[in-house]
A and B are shown apart, each in its own frame.
Chain A
Amino acid sequence: MHPAFSVIFFTVASGAGFGLFSLLFIADVFKLGGGFSREQLIIGGLMAMALIVFGLLSSTFHLANPKNAWRAVNRFRTSWLSREGVFAIVFMPLALVYLASIWFDAPQWLRETFGFLTAVLAWITVFSTGMIYACLKTIRQWNTPLVPANYLALGYASGSLLLLLGAVVSGLDTMPYIAMSALILSIAAVLKAIYYFWISSPGLGPTINTATGLTRAKVKLLDTGHTHGTFLTQEFGFQMARQKAGLLKIVVFVLGFALPGLMLVWVFNQQGGQAAAIVAVVAGIVGAAVERWLFFAEARHVVNLYHGAQRC
């Protein structure tokens, strides 16, 4: 699949934003590390919402006909893309109510109810983002429950690193935030490793024989019928060299998980708190972007069976 940078930026930014907001709620409820102040919570919440809004806006850049983008919420009943749009839109006012209940010192039950609803909606939205890809039977590498699981894990991982940076900057006790980041990063790394292992084996899928229905002999492409590219070859013909894919997977684990993990240790040992936290955030988000790029690049759509592939 042709990796679209606007979609990569959208999923990484909005995942981090939803993750940050949910974990901010958890940090607020349990007063982790002493508890953020009112102003710090508002700033953190607004930053998370800014990440989400910028992500959603950037996703409209990959549309060929953006004047109809408002119609994207029309098919909530059947389309995961519609569902994701609806949930993201419903999230906004609820999140603002939660932040307002913090600002105006609303009763605890109100604050926690709206915070909980917002956190649940954030989870559902990131799940829907993953399902946009996972519901497609035409792409074997995407048609697995590990995809929404990884979208959630990486969103929360990026969010937890951002929250840690917030805790360091706010001068809170960073212990609980380090523990939370370490746990989420480890789970995310393990899920990612399982995913790469899972898609590396060919599995049962369509072959050129089932695609053409010519099952009684070997079938090979002679001619695609066009001298130059088409929409299909441009959109689905992208294929990575296996060594390059392997190298990028190493980059994902080193940048996305190992380096932030190292920075967590440094923050814990008070060896340069704020700088280490910033490095962790940048490495985590860049690692997530590389992972998302690989996610698209490694996908092989079954239409490739009509363009020369023997199996997908």
Chain B
Amino acid sequence: MRLGLVIDLDVCVGCHACAIACKEWNASGTTGPLSDYQPYGAEPSGVWFNRIRHYEMDEYPNNKTINFPMSCNHCEDAECVTVCPTGASYKRAEDGIVLVDQDKCMGCNYCSWACPYGARELDRSSGTMKKCTLCVDRIYDLDLPVEERQPSCVLTCPAHARMFGDFDDPDSAVSRTVRERGGYGLMPELNYNPTNQYLPPRSKPVIPIDAKPKGGLKESIKQFANKLVRR
């Protein structure tokens, strides 16, 4: 079983709801609480597992805003696991989720140096590294109804831009959508083989905004009439 997320860049509106939901779910649980630094102060900052960045693709007038949520990609060849000296960073064999054992981590930051996606952050109050857990405490929680056994970010997204599933199952929703839409992993040249896939923005024809003036005798009479009549 290879669990992961699919994020649809064509649909994401950049509302940050998934980031807030993640932060709220992880207020306690396996890795929580996530520290806030100066939350009501001059320079608010904090530990977040899910961050949405915004990019501009192409140049005006053909530009487009792409909203880019990023969290841990739970890579197949996760170097963050390889470099960890204490063994705190590990990848589960049963579902491929990469986790940090909070009892073993010594906060050396080495795993964050190895992660190209910036998934790992140091929590200054616990002194340990924290990252997206793929809501491992939600997806296996039998006290939750079946439809809620998904990561908080997936459940929250109002635009349905996030999907969760098993990539090893070729008929799962995530596998199908990646095949159909041409999903991709980030920075493939580093050979980390990220599990999370991103769906590219669709190529849609641009809708013309300015009405082009039409020629012809009928059009000229219409324009003349429109100028005469005061509405």
Contact = CB atoms under 8 A, between A and B. Distances in A.
B interface bracket (residues with beta carbon within 8 Å of A): 35 or more
Contacts of A139: 113
Interface string B100-122: 00011111111011111110011
Contact of A235 (B104, B109, B200): B109
A148 to B, nearest CB: 16
Interface stretch (B140-148, B170-178, B181-189, B214-222): B181-189
B94 interface: no
B124 A136 contact: no
B1 interface: no
Contact of B87 (A71, A217, A225): A71
Nearest to B183: A213
Interface in B48-66: 48, 51-59, 62, 65-66
Given A226-B45, A303-B118, A65 B106 contact: yes
A4 to B, nearest CB: 9
Contacts of A208: 55
A135 B83 CA distance: 9
A85 interface: yes
Given A136-B114, A206-B190, A72 B53 contact: no
Contact of B118 (A66, A72, A306): A306
Chain A binding surface, main DSSP class: mixed
A65 B109 contact: no
A64 to B, nearest CB: 3
B127 interface: yes
B180 interface: no
B84 A222 contact: no
Contact of A213 (B16, B53, B107, B186): B186
B124 A64 contact: yes
Contacts of A222: 54-56, 65
Q: Output the residue of B59, B65, B84 with the most chain A CB within 10 A.
A: B84
B11 to A, nearest CB: 15
B109 A211 contact: no
B44 interface: yes
B112 A228 contact: no
Contacts of A224: 53-54
A65 B55 contact: no
A63 B190 CA distance: 27
A229 B82 CA distance: 28
B188 A210 contact: yes
B21 to A, nearest CB: 15
B30 interface: no
B186 A228 contact: no
Contact of B187 (A1, A78, A302): A302
A228 B115 CA distance: 22
A212 B55 contact: yes
A269 interface: no
A212 B66 contact: yes
B45 A229 contact: yes
A51 B108 CA distance: 22
Nearest to A59: B108
B128 interface: yes
A122 to B, nearest CB: 20
A68 B200 contact: no
A232 B130 CA distance: 13
Given A206-B116, A220-B56, A222-B54, A75 B86 contact: yes
B106 A79 contact: no
Interface of B: 16, 19, 43-45, 47-48, 51-59, 62, 65-66, 68, 70, 79, 81-88, 103-110, 112-118, 121-122, 124, 126-128, 184-191, 198, 200-201
Given A75-B85, A213-B186, A217-B59, 17 more contacts: A64-B124, A65-B105, A68-B88, A71-B86, A72-B106, A79-B84, A138-B115, A210-B189, A212-B55, A212-B68, A214-B66, A218-B58, A218-B59, A224-B53, A231-B47, A231-B121, A306-B70
12 contacts: A72-B86, A73-B85, A79-B82, A136-B113, A138-B115, A212-B55, A214-B57, A219-B66, A225-B19, A225-B52, A231-B112, A303-B116
Interface of A: 1, 62-69, 71-75, 78-82, 85, 132, 135-139, 206, 208, 210-214, 217-232, 235-236, 301-303, 306-307
Nearest 9 CB-CB pairings of A with B:
A64-B107, A65-B127, A64-B127, A71-B86, A68-B106, A217-B58, A65-B107, A81-B85, A303-B118
